[in-house]
Amino acid sequence: MSAVDQQAPSGATARDVVEQASRRRTFAVISHPDAGKSTLTEALALHARVIGQAGAVHGKAGRRGTVSDWMDMEKARGISITSAALQFEYADAVVNLLDTPGHSDFSEDTYRVLTAVDAAVMLIDAAKGLEAQTMKLFAVCRHRGIPVITVVNKWDRPGKDALELMDEISERTGLTPTPLTWPVGIAGDFRGVLDRRDGSYRRFTRTAGGATIAPEETLSAEAAADREGEPWQQAVEEVELLGASGQDHEQSLFLDGVTTPVLFASAVSNFGVGALLDTLVGMAPAPTGVTTADGGTREVTDPFSAFVFKVQAGMDTAHRDRLAFIRICSGVFERGMVVTHARTGRPFATKYAQHVFGRERESIDTAYPGDVVGLVNAAALGVGDTLYAERPVTYPPLTTFAPEHFAVCRGRDTGKHKQFRRGIEQLDSEGVVQVLRSDRRGDGAPVLAVVGPMQFEVATHRMENEFGAAVDLDRLPYSIAMRTDEASAPVVATARNAEVLQRTNGEYVAVFGDKWGLRVFKEKHPDLLLESLVAAQL
């Protein structure tokens, strides 16, 4: 037996694990709201032929909603408010695609997803360029060393000049854009793309409403020149400029975060989507070793380990179950295996394990590094928890963001106290809201703390529709949250326009009305503990 096989986890050789991990491509789609993330997610699934017809984000008459936007509120609003996982096979690859909320109110959910991926697709609206939320999420990708593929979307609508967009990417992100395809026709007149890798022309044909795969015709440069004339010649000249400035793809520079491959597309028309899928499979990195909490590395061939990056309830309205999404980091996952829950040290049975495709799920028997698996009714698991087999390991905790909006939550019907309590506990464990309590307010009036006010809407909607406990929220005049401790709490509670509350884990949180009041109080009491709730950046 070779040395690599001797390191094998039970149930498979290390060679098997390496081979299977090399097939995985796990990535997230990130962007500013309304740039077309969910539409692109659907289009990728359509091109992989795992669905027969794409939906529409805005749910226009006679058209379906997107697979990844499964919540009622998402369908009604036409935006993503929770991350979604889709897994499918394409060519010889297994794709784990994570769609993320674009709205800044749900950025905490997006940040957690970015801990579970190996690459990101940064979606840019051709007319708007790089927007605020896109830049925030890009900064997280850069900090975590996540390679980024850029897609300029909505090229079928009027927008900026293509070369102008390349300059904007370079100046604002510091990455050198290396287009793989280049548009033939200005924004709003999307005829096809020049493939820089072989100089050919991929010409697109529209389909009714973009619901099916857009037929592509590949033409030689000579045939393209005859067919398109001036738009083709302009594309050729611009591509020559890119080459002269050194904007050519080099795989090592992409993986090192120096460059970003760029493709042009129209997700709603399914133009350029196939090229993106081929690029992801061909260029995005496969899973590698993951850094542990003690600074070491858990290699993919080590015994099984995974971490929980998301908990979601309400996906199955018939059963009201709770799904913990885990990213497998090492070894082989086998349904039914008993693993160790690192936080508690207790055994955890994985009897009910599923692969997820939007809201649809199917049981799985085996999974490998890079895969995202849903564990059903995993009540003991919380966001950031580590699971392992054989050799102990703990992965770094996920960052909790400092809330900026606060409201007292009360049930409308006192006879539904059990449903109220269960719902609040569920939302807290999922990270939909942070739940804060105090003796002063009592258990029946917890304070909900959120990063953005739209999270309140999600919480109230779910409390009524999933848990049968309609609630009222009374907004509180606080905007700043700080970590404090039991010794400091009595004095902090005397501050003007301030209050001390506790998280479910017992941590003390001091909330203040404004930064000026906080500053004055800290100057008077420099010996008290008041520090940022965000201990580290992702």
How many Å apart are CA 462 and CA 432, to the nearest integer? 10
Contact 47, 213 (CB under 8 A): yes
Question: Token pair of 458, please?
Answer: 């999600």
Contacts of 51 (CB under 8 A, 6+ apart): 42, 45, 67
Buried b (16+ CB within 10 A) or exposed e, 464-490: eebbebebebeebebebbbbbeeebbe
State mean pLDDT over 160-166.
97
Helix segments in 200-301, DSSP class H? 221-228, 230-244, 251-255, 273-283
Average pLDDT over residues 140-154: 93
Question: How many residues in total does the chain contain?
Answer: 538
**Eight-class DSSP state of 515:** H
- Decide whether 290-388 matches 405-532 in CATH topology: no
Tokens encoding 130: 């790089």
The whole-number average pLDDT for the span 435-460 is: 90
**H helix or E strand, kind and range, residue 139:** helix 132-144
Rounded-to-integer distance, Cα 29 and Cα 69, Å: 14
pLDDT at 113 over 90: no
What is the distance between the terminal CA atoms of the chain, rounded to a whole angstrom?
41
340 touches 309 (CB < 8 A): no
Pairing relationship of beta strands 360-363 and 353-357 according to DSSP bridges: antiparallel
Q: How would you label 46-76 residue by residue, b for 16+ Cβ within 10 Å and e otherwise?
A: bbbebbeebbbbebeeebebbbbbbbebbbe
Q: Tokens in use for 296?
A: 């070491």
What's the average model confidence in pLDDT over 384-407? 90
Average pLDDT over residues 66-86: 49
291 is in an annotated binding site: no
Residue 63 vs residue 475, higher pLDDT: 475
Residue 512 clears pLDDT 90, i.e. is over it = yes
Rounded to the nearest integer, the mean pLDDT of the chain is 85
User: What pLDDT is attached to residue 209?
Assistant: 58
Give the DSSP H or E segment for 531: strand 531-532
- Contact 305/387 with Cβ under 8 angstroms? yes
Q: Taking the model in full, what pTM does it have?
A: 0.79
Residue 8 has pLDDT above 90, yes or no: no
pLDDT > 70 fraction of the chain, expressed in percent and rounded:
85
Which pLDDT value is given to residue 50? 64
Q: Is 314 annotated in some ligand binding site?
A: no
Residue 299 in contact with residue 289, Cβ under 8 Å?
yes
Whether 263 contacts 272, CB under 8 Å: yes
What is the spatial distance between Cα 437 and Cα 478, in angstroms, rounded to a whole number? Answer: 15
**pLDDT confidence of residue 194:** 97
Q: How do residues 176-195 score in pLDDT, each as one tens digit? A: 999 999 999 999 999 999 99
Spatial contact of 279 and 261, defined as CB atoms under 8 Å apart = yes
Reported as a single tens digit per residue, the pLDDT across 19-37 is 999 999 999 988 887 888 8
Question: Was 181 annotated as part of a binding site?
Answer: no
Q: How many Cα atoms are found within 13 Å in the side-chain-facing hemisphere of 124?
A: 27
Asked whether residue 85 carries a pLDDT value surpassing 80, the answer given is no
Q: What CATH superfamily classification does 405-532 receive?
A: Peptide chain release factor 3, domain III (3.30.70.3280)
Handedness of CA 444, 448, 453, 454 (dihedral sign): negative
The region of weakest confidence among 3-12, 60-69, 70-79, 417-426 is 60-69
Dist. CA 231–CA 225, nearest whole Å: 9
Please compute the mean of the pLDDT values over residues 442-452 and round it to a whole number.
90
pLDDT (mean) for 195-207: 90
Q: For residue 78, is pLDDT > 80?
A: no
The pLDDT value recorded for residue 79 is 43
Q: Please check if 215 is assigned to a binding site.
A: no
- Which tokens in the block code for residue 257? 């975060």
The pLDDT assigned to 269 comes to 87
What is the model's pLDDT at position 254? 98
pLDDT band, residue 284 (cuts 50/70/90)? very high
Report the amino acid identity of residue 361. R
pLDDT at 356: 67
pLDDT exceeds 90 at position 250: yes
Mean local confidence (pLDDT), 233-249: 96
3.40.50.720, 3.40.50.1820, 3.40.50.300, 3.40.50.970: which CATH number matches 290-388?
Answer: 3.40.50.300
Cα-based distances in Å from 294 to 31, 152, 298, 393, 530: 32, 39, 11, 9, 27
Tokens read off for 447: 């304070």
Contacts of 388 by beta carbon, 8 Å cutoff, 6+ apart: 303, 304, 305, 306, 339, 340, 342
532 CB contacts (<8 Å, ≥6 apart)? 402, 482, 483
Reference 117, options 91, 137, 135; nearest CA is 137
Q: Are 84 and 68 in contact (CB under 8 A)?
A: yes
The Cα-based distances of 140 to 19, 100, 463, 492, 538 in angstroms read: 29, 14, 31, 33, 6
* Domain ranges within the chain, ordered by starting residue: 31-283, 290-388, 405-532
Least confident of 10-14, 152-156, 219-223, 374-378: 10-14
Q: Of 201-215, 279-293, 427-441, where does the model show the most confidence?
A: 279-293
Q: Is 477 annotated as a binding residue?
A: no
pLDDT at 494 over 50: yes
Pick the CATH number of 31-283 from 3.40.50.2000, 3.40.718.10, 3.40.50.300, 1.25.40.10: 3.40.50.300
Whether pLDDT at 74 is above 50: no
Q: What is the DSSP letter of 400?
A: P
